[in-house]
Amino acid sequence: MKIVILDGYTLYPKDKMLKTYSPLGEVTCYDRTAPEEVPDRIRGAEAVLTNKVIISNEVMEHSPALRYIGVLATGYNVVDTAFAASRNIVVTNVPAYSTMSVVQLVFAYVLAFASKVELHNAAVHQGEWASCPDFMFLKSPVFEIAGKTIGIIGMGAIGTQVARIASAFGMNVVCHSRHTKELDIPNLTWTSMEEVFRQADFLTLHAPLTEQTRGIINQNTLKLMKPTAYLINTARGPLVNDADLAAALNSGLIAGAAADVMTSEPPKPENPLLSAKNMLITPHLGWASTEAKERLLSISYDNLAAYQRGNTINRVN
């Protein structure tokens, strides 16, 4: 089987990718692939692995050998799955590999806002403690998260784990999702989306990107939030209207925000969130812990191996 990996670099260096998949066939791995390079690079391939490179309908139409697309991620919007099915092309994804890594990042943000570690570490290294007349100082108030309310929009695997850990911290949990479910989590309340916005001291997004959720964070919903509240987005960048959030931060409508995902990635230099007040941004690293990457690699290998045996798993079309 001829296997082509279009964008392996963010997962692992080329040599590891080749070594992992070589038992399954003849493997070619590219660090990155531009859209115009896709047709030539996958010509004659039966299996293609992609993370963020789009496999367009036109590419599929002109790739008669293509029978399998393995998405190296949980989200699979880089492929029109219905069209792929019409061409008898199997599409698989890698579900739930990064749940705990993303949850960990959510609480890294929560604790960064509450304890101001980065701010005070910088002050100490700039000499402010050494020159302080007292045994301690505060650059900004710090606060406990116990007793605070975390609001969760989207209660899939990640949202549910956020709720469990928040409860363990002694936080109150208010959540909204397309579907409710019975959860044995203390201090958890299901409520309307509007009430989640109103009650949350920390509002964290874990909803999929759909036409209904696109731009869910906008000037109207931000006005519902407390001026002391913080917004966290580790889900999808387009859930947020960037200009509206930047305006809310700069005017003090909310206290701060954090994002690991942006509307376009990498963000354009003119994105207003890059210069907004009290905005923490990390470069889409929530999925990329060593443990999560190993799980992704293992599951994607198993997906392709199962396809070769005629017993497809994690198929999304």
Average pLDDT over residues 223-249: 98
Q: How far apart are CA 204 and CA 286, in angstroms?
A: 14
Residue 17 binned pLDDT confidence (cut-offs 50, 70, 90)? very high
Q: Are strands 90-92 and 68-71 parallel, antiparallel or unpaired?
A: parallel
Tens digit of pLDDT for each residue in 175-225?
Answer: 999 988 999 999 999 999 999 999 999 999 999 989 999 999 999 999 999
Give the H/E segment covering residue 257.
strand 256-259
Count of residues for the chain? 317
What's the pLDDT score for residue 223?
98
The catalytically annotated residue of 120, 176, 206, 236 is 236
265 is catalytic: yes
Q: Which two tokens mark 59?
A: 């590419």
Which residue of the set 41, 43, 67, 284 is catalytic? 284
Residue 169: CB atoms within 10 Å: 16
pLDDT at 154: 97
* Residue given tokens 């005017």 in the structure block: 251
Note whether 210 and 156 are within 8 A (CB): no
Model pLDDT, residue 308: 98
* Tally of CB atoms within 10 A around 148: 20
What pLDDT score does 213 carry?
95
> Running DSSP on this structure, what letter comes out for residue 185?
-
> What percent of the residues of the chain are helix, what percent strand, and what percent coil, each to the nearest 5?
35, 15, 45
Per-residue model confidence as pLDDT tens digits over 74-123: 989 899 999 999 999 999 999 999 999 999 999 999 999 999 999 999 99
Q: Name the nearest CA neighbour of 24 among 312, 313, 315, 304.
A: 304
Maximum alpha-carbon separation in the chain: 75
Pick the catalytic residue: 265, 270, 295, 309? 265
Averaged pLDDT score across all residues of the chain: 97
- The three-class DSSP label of residue 250 is helix
Residue 309 binned pLDDT confidence (cut-offs 50, 70, 90): very high
Q: Tell me the C-alpha distance between 102 and 232, whole Å.
A: 11
Of residues 17, 37, 36, 35, the one with CA closest to residue 27: 17
Domain layout of the chain by residue ranges: 2-97+290-309, 99-281
Q: Contacts by 51-60 with C-beta closer than 8 Å and gap 24+?
A: 51/6, 51/7, 51/8, 51/10, 51/11, 51/78, 52/7, 52/78, 53/6, 53/7, 53/78, 54/78, 54/79, 55/79, 55/84, 56/80, 57/83, 60/84, 60/87, 60/89
Buried b (16+ CB within 10 A) or exposed e, 44-73: ebbbbbbbbbebbeebbeebeebbbbbbbb
CA distances 259 to 11, 23, 280, 314, Å, are: 21, 38, 6, 28
CA dihedral for 304, 308, 313, 316, sign (positive or negative): positive
Tokens standing for 84? 């792929």
State the CATH architecture for 2-97+290-309.
Answer: 3-Layer(aba) Sandwich (3.40)
Q: Which two tokens stand for residue 174?
A: 């208010």
Same fold, 2-97+290-309 and 99-281: yes
Residue 284 catalytic? yes
Cα–Cα nearest to 15, from 6, 25, 27, 24: 27
Q: Is the four-CA dihedral 258, 230, 224, 179 of positive or negative sign?
A: positive
Say whether 41 is catalytic: no
pLDDT of residue 130: 98
Contact indicator for 149, 174 with CB cutoff of 8 Å: yes
Q: So what's the architecture of 99-281 in CATH?
A: 3-Layer(aba) Sandwich (3.40)
- Answer yes or no: are the C-beta atoms of 54 and 31 closer than 8 Å: no
Work out the average pLDDT over 145-151.
98
